[in-house]
Amino acid sequence: MTPVILAPINIDNHFLLDEIIPELEYISKIKFIIKPLNIDISKAFSEERGQYHSTIILKLMLENLNEENSKVVGIVKNDLFIPVLTYVFGEAQLDGKCSLVSLFRLHEEFYSGNSDKNLLKQRTIKEILHELGHNFGLIHCKDWECVMHSSSSIEEVDIKGIKYCKSCIQIINKKLKS
């Protein structure tokens, strides 16, 4: 099975990703590898909003990737938006190759001022698995215990489960076999 690539974009220190790989693999039964991607994302920056347009970063990723068969989850530390929304935690090509996750709003400091490394890990795992699920063609799930439940606020990220539900994991497995 081709491993999923976690691609830290312009992030030198990826200890966090190293630490969460075992749990990502345990939950998804998919192999993950880290492959940093250094690309110029300044094109995606909006002066007016002080944020990065995630759809543009996704396009840049696609232009700069060589891997034919792998799914690639880009990780950025910057705050992301799409024009109609104030922010997004990430974006994915539905049933496609690439997705993107921002760590910016996953840090607890952003909300309460308190650092919580464990919470950051849990949130990052959830968001990576969520966006990756979209890459496998999954849409949002109604089951709050499933990581594919939609989460448009950090409170919802915290409430939803960290694993795929039975039917979502079945769809992923089917895709992997085909």
Partner 1 sequence: MEKKNKLLIVDDEEIVRQSLKAWFLEDGYEIDIAEDAEAALRLYEKNKYDLILLDIKMPGMSGMDLLIKLKEFDPDAIIILITAYASVSSAVKALKNGAYDYITKPIDPDELSHVVKNALNQKNLKDENIQLKTSIDEIIKPENLIGDSPKMKEVYSLIHTVSQTDTTVLILGDSGTGKELVAKAIHLNSKRKYFPLVTVNCGALPESILESELFGHEKGAFTGAHYKRKGKFEMANGGTIFLDEIGTISHKVQIELLRVIETKEFMRVGGSETIKSDFRVIAATNENLQNLVNSGQFREDLYYRLNVFNIQLPPLRERGDDVILLADYFLNKFSSAMNKKISSFDEEAIKFMQDYYWPGNVRELENAIERAVVVCHKDKITLDDLPFKVIKNVKEEEPLTERSLEAIEKKHIEKILSENNWNISKSAEELQIDRVTLYNKIKKYGLRKNN
Q: List interacting residues with partner 1 (CB under 8 A).
A: 26, 49, 55, 81-88, 91-92, 94, 109-114, 134, 139-140, 142, 144, 150, 152-156, 159-160, 166
**131 an active-site residue?**
yes
- For residue 69, the minimal CB distance to partner 1 (Å) is 23
Instruction: With both helix axes pointing from N to C terminus, report the angle between 15-28 and 117-135 in degrees, rounded to the nearest 10.
Output: 50
CB of 101: closest distance to partner 1 in angstroms?
14
* Shorter beta-carbon distance to partner 1: residue 8 or 133: 133
Phi-psi label, residue 102: left if phi above 0, alpha if psi -120 to 50, beta otherwise: beta
For the bound state, the minimum distance from the C-beta of residue 72 to partner 1, rounded and expressed in Å, comes to 18
In sign, the C-alpha dihedral spanning 63, 67, 70, 76 is negative
Which residue among 47, 67, 108, 131 is the active-site one? 131
Question: Could you identify the residue written with the tokens 């700069």?
Answer: 64
Give φ, ψ of 16 to 5 degrees. -55, -45
- Cβ closest to partner 1, residue 21 vs residue 154: 154
What are the structure tokens assigned to 41, written together?
């994302």
Q: Which residues are catalytic?
A: 131
